[in-house]
Amino acid sequence: MIESRSIDRYFQAMADPYRRGFIERLSEGPASVKELAAPADVQLPAVLKHLRVLEDGGIVVSEKVGRVRTYRMRPDAFNAMTTWIEQRQRDMNAAFDRLAAAMAQVPEEKDH
Amino acid sequence: MIESRSIDRYFQAMADPYRRGFIERLSEGPASVKELAAPADVQLPAVLKHLRVLEDGGIVVSEKVGRVRTYRMRPDAFNAMTTWIEQRQRDMNAAFDRLAAAMAQVPEEKDH
């Protein structure tokens, strides 16, 4: 089972439009800090801070070759979240099925 | 398209272990504030605050009958998140396919 604190960080990493923008870009392929910063209307220190949150959260990894640091998505970036959400949806469906079954056992009053 | 601020709130709502605990409980069926507060080791005001975050984020709805307020999951609670995640995963797969196709065009040196 994934640690609760890890899942906190996953969801926290997603809860910012700039960070989601970087994830959207990196889902299309690796990119350098410069490429990521170019379309963003924020200063470089803020970009680096957001990228650190994504890396600490286990969403992206980075590699430095010479003076260029390149970021890319982790292939399992969304696994923890989707696993958690899918379990909740299974529970919701099961609860709905139980409710539907209980309703089916109620005699229809209009027939009497 | 779903507003960026709404998605922020969705993800933010998930980024807390107490709030995820309430979502886990409510996915199994509706519950009153009292029922939700019972297993949580937090005071009632904190419970109510977390529930308000979930309601503002569009994850749960509540209804008050007499003195009892009951919470239940919104059936579309996870739609915004899963839609966003699925698009990123499609992009990641497409990027991987492009990379694999490019690799396939590189002549295998060992044959020469």
Q: pLDDT, tens digit, for every residue of B84-111?
A: 999 999 999 999 899 899 989 887 766 5
Confidence bin at B1 (pLDDT 50/70/90): very low
| Nearest Cα residue to A58 out of A6, A111, A99 | A6
| Nearest Cα residue to A54 out of A85, A24, A87, A84 | A24
pLDDT of the residue at B87: 95
Does the beta-carbon distance from A17 to B4 stay under 8 Å? Answer: yes
Confidence bin at B41 (pLDDT 50/70/90): confident
The end-to-end CA distance of chain A, in Å, is 53
Report the complex ipTM: 0.80
Amino acid occupying residue A107: P
Query: What is the C-alpha separation between A86 and A27, in angstroms, rounded?
Result: 22
Amino acid occupying residue B82: T
Closest residue on chain B to A75 (Cα): B92
Distances (CA, A) of A10 to A65, B31, B105: 27, 27, 37
Report the residue of B7, B59, B85, B97 to disrupt the A interface, i.e. the one with the largest count of A CBs within 10 Å.
B85
Measure in Å the smallest separation between the Cα of A75 and chain B Cα atoms. 8
Write down the domain spans for chain B.
4-105
Q: What is the CATH number of domain A4-105?
A: 1.10.10.10
The torsion angle over the Cα atoms of residues B11, B12, B18 and B24, rounded to 10 degrees, is -20
Confidence bin at B112 (pLDDT 50/70/90): low
Q: What is the pTM of this model?
A: 0.82
pLDDT of the residue at A1: 42
Does the beta-carbon distance from B15 to A15 stay under 8 Å? Answer: yes
| Nearest Cα residue to B77 out of B27, B39, B33 | B27
pLDDT for A34-90, tens place per residue? 999 988 788 899 999 999 999 998 999 999 999 999 999 999 999 988 999 999 999
Does the beta-carbon distance from B27 to A85 stay under 8 Å? Answer: no
